[in-house]
Amino acid sequence: MATNEDLFKKIISHSKEYGFVFPSSEIYDGLSAVYDYGPFGVELKNNIKAWWWKSMVQYHENIVGLDSAIFMHPTIWKASGHVDAFNDPMIDNKDSKKRYRADVLVEDHLQKIEDKIQKEVDKARTRFGETFDEQMYRTTNPRVKEYQDKIDALKTRFYASLEKNDLADVKALIEEAGIVCPVSGTKNWTEVRQFNLMFSTQMGSVNEDANEIFLRPETAQGVFVNFLNVQKSARMKIPFGIAQIGKAFRNEIVARQFLFRMREFEQMEMQYFVKPGEELEWFAYWKQERMRWHTSLGIPASKYRFHDHDKLAHYANAATDIEFEFPIGFKELEGIHSRTDFDLSAHQKFSGRKIQYFDTELNEGYVPYVVETSIGLDRTFLAVVSYAYREEKLEDGSERVVLSLPAILAPVKVAILPLIKKDGLPEKAREIMDVLKYRFRCFYEEKDTIGRRYRRMDAIGTPYCITIDHQTLQDNTVTLRDRDTMLQERIPVNEILAILNEKLSL
Ligand code: GAP
């Protein structure tokens, strides 16, 4: 069994070898934290987008879509708070020359203490058996209490220092907590500095006249500034949502975790506009609804968990993450935020335009509150591939790598494989391909032994292979091979479409 780090490396190299993900600009030695999606990667990515879009826009009558531009008026980012507050505190280790986010260093340290508590709790559960009262144990066991007090004190001080922008105290706290650089093992830290994550560029033809504009760090603002356009043109009544999928850009300080932390990535966001005062009920609703979406893909619930935020972003009155157990540990996959009326009110103020919803039932206008669900497309891709990647030993002693992707997401749904390249088998296979390709993404291949072709299809996650052999020419049947069980059944050619339709629906 590979260690998680090995597994992560294997997933990265498998993604490249089988045409899922390539490092950007590779022939020029790459560009840090930027990636290109290959022929099978782009299919998987499009399928994730389509599934999300369907679940949001098609299955909810009160959610509509939008595709707003990446370039936006620069004042938008002043109003949203991103110019002043979209910063990460960074710190360098002088010995390893590695740069870290100070908050991540502290949170990892806190997690280590949490892990120690969990170990004590697990030991006690084994010792006491069924009579074990975890709550009681956590509040009374002296060692556990000591750990918990340590966590609480660190958290209180850390968040207060961040709030006050007291970066000297953040550094002092890192030193006092004994946090060392994971690479050099030393505490030889630089000062902590704030670093704005937005990329900027110039718009305009002459340098002096050009305006500095930003590449959007989230898609959400495009929704907020179009609130009235959408509400009026689509005749939406509160509560309603606006969904959008699009690129976002962040100049991440630490970006060395493959698709997990990229500088150019895609978000799938939905902003849900509600009556003020009802936002926390909707927040609870979307928390559950989004968790249901994740588990609907067939990935076990134990791979996901909620992480409620202690420190809220400048716009939120409640926030939680849905974390996924990546090979690098449980990490944020999706954020659900109750953003209050912060954004719409700020745009109202900065633009000088009234942004209100007139509620005909109440006979009054108000600035709606917003509950947002925001998921990274690339992180979802990584989650799905990490879960699907399996190395299997087969009964005959050989090995295979298989991507057990949910069928609805698989880049190729069916491979059409003539057993050999003669005797009229390719012609028959082409006939079948020509029917199926209008319904499913198919892949035709006649080179190599059938065993090798099956392995290649397993490696890109193709759920079904159809093999055309000599018997096909006699009785018009083919074999249908299942990727996960590797079982084969013989089915009539004229039933292929109906059988696949049934098997490939969620
Ligand atoms: N509009 C809210 C917002 O942008 P966020 O928690 O900063 O919230 C939402 O980002 C999601 O975007 C994250 O849960 C993550 O999946 C994805 N994401 C954020 N930064 C990313 C990065 N550098 N690389 C890949 N995905 C990222």
Residue ranges per structural domain of the chain:
1-69+214-395, 87-196, 412-503
**Nearest atom within ligand 1 for CA of residue 219:** 1
Q: What is the per-residue pLDDT across 245-254, written as a single tens digit (0 to 9) for each?
A: 999 999 998 7
Distance 383 CA to ligand 1 centre (A): 14
Half-sphere exposure of 292 toward its Cβ, with a 13 Å CA cutoff?
8
Mean pLDDT across the stretch 75-83? Answer: 95
Distance 335 CA to ligand 1 centre (A): 7
Answer whether 252 contacts ligand 1 (Cβ < 6 A): yes
Mean pLDDT across the stretch 300-310? Answer: 94
Quote the strand ranges of 95-176, DSSP E: 99-101
Domain 87-196 has CATH 3.30.40.230: yes
- pLDDT at residue 223 greater than cutoff 50: yes
Distance 282 CA to ligand 1 centre (A): 21
- pLDDT at residue 2 greater than cutoff 70: no
**Is the whole model's pTM more than 0.85, yes or no?**
yes
Name 198's Cβ contacts closer than 8 Å, sequence gap at least 6: 77, 82, 83, 86, 214, 215, 217, 249, 250, 251
Answer whether 88 contacts ligand 1 (Cβ < 6 A): no
Answer whether 37 contacts ligand 1 (Cβ < 6 A): no
Answer whether 92 contacts ligand 1 (Cβ < 6 A): no
**Nearest atom within ligand 1 for CA of residue 267:** 12
Q: What is the per-residue pLDDT across 341-384, written as a single tens digit (0 to 9) for each?
A: 999 999 999 999 999 999 999 999 999 999 999 999 999 999 99
Q: What is the per-residue pLDDT across 267-287, written as a single tens digit (0 to 9) for each?
A: 999 999 999 999 999 999 999
* Span 412-503 CATH architecture: 3-Layer(aba) Sandwich (3.40)
Distance 171 CA to ligand 1 centre (A): 26
Q: What percent of the chain has pLDDT over 70?
A: 98
Q: Which of 37, 197, 267, 291 is the best mutation target for the ligand 1 pocket, counting ligand atoms within 8 Å of the beta carbon and taking the most?
A: 267
Mean pLDDT across the stretch 328-341? Answer: 96
Distance 267 CA to ligand 1 centre (A): 7
Q: From CA 225, how far away is CA 259, in angstroms rounded?
A: 29
Q: What is the per-residue pLDDT across 129-162, written as a single tens digit (0 to 9) for each?
A: 989 999 999 999 999 999 999 999 999 999 899 8
Q: From CA 300, how far away is CA 220, in angstroms rounded?
A: 30
Give the pLDDT of residue 210: 67
DSSP string, 297-326: TT--GGGEEEEE-SSPPTT-SEEEEEEEEE
Answer whether 220 contacts ligand 1 (Cβ < 6 A): yes
- Tell me the average pLDDT of the chain: 94
Fold identical between 1-69+214-395 and 87-196?
Answer: no
**Nearest alpha carbon, ligand 1 atom 18:** 376
Distance 375 CA to ligand 1 centre (A): 6
Give the pLDDT of residue 1: 41
Contact yes or no for 224/77 (Cβ under 8 A): no
Q: What is the per-residue pLDDT across 379-410, written as a single tens digit (0 to 9) for each?
A: 999 999 999 999 999 988 999 999 999 999 99
- pLDDT at residue 124 greater than cutoff 90: yes
Least confident of 5-19, 199-213, 421-435: 199-213
Q: From CA 256, how far away is CA 205, in angstroms rounded?
A: 35
* Span 1-69+214-395 CATH architecture: 2-Layer Sandwich (3.30)
Task: Kindly indicate the confidence band of residue 256, based on its pLDDT and cuts at 50, 70 and 90.
Answer: confident
Mean pLDDT across the stretch 453-480? Answer: 98
Q: From CA 258, how far away is CA 388, in angstroms rounded?
A: 17
- pLDDT at residue 456 greater than cutoff 50: yes
Distance 376 CA to ligand 1 centre (A): 5
